[in-house]
Chains A and B, each alone.
Chain A
């Protein structure tokens, strides 16, 4: 079975299998995608919902943010499907 060494070359470094490597990569990739998505949504919804920052988040600002996140997720779906259909 293929294996990778997690340390620098040398004896005694722990070996991981190709499968484990791929599993770890998948987890890290998923986390990276989620992180990127979060940052994008944060920027867009701040722009749309927080027009005049006050000393705390108002109720209308909070519900705007909630709706904004839902809409952005929906928009991602619409754009994704449009791309799939045009190929």
Chain B
């Protein structure tokens, strides 16, 4: 590969966008997997019950809350 081609601003922008998209995709995939296991305990039906869909939504948000708490905790531990 011609190294000077890597400097293309189009390519840099593209790679950054795809990197971001990949991270979002991974987060959603992982969260869906975890929350499916937590919330969908019975055989899948023709639609989710309201408690199942509420559980899925809550699960995702609580997971993100927890991530913030963990990050802050680890950060404060590193500072002492």
Contact = CB atoms under 8 A, between A and B. Distances in A.
Interface of A: 2-5, 18, 21-22, 25-26, 29, 33, 36-37, 40, 44-45, 48-49, 64, 67-68, 70-72, 74-76, 78-83, 86
Interface in B11-51: 11, 14, 18, 21-22, 24-25, 27-29, 31-33, 35-36, 40, 43-48
Contact of A82 (B4, B25, B48, B57): B57
Mostly, the A contact residues are helix
Contacts, number: 97
Nearest 6 A-B pairs (CB), nearest first?
A82-B60, A2-B5, A68-B44, A71-B44, A2-B8, A82-B57
Given A45-B44, A48-B40, A83-B28, 17 more contacts: A2-B8, A4-B1, A4-B2, A4-B5, A25-B18, A37-B29, A44-B36, A48-B43, A67-B45, A68-B44, A70-B44, A72-B44, A75-B56, A76-B29, A80-B28, A82-B61, A83-B60
B46 A67 contact: yes
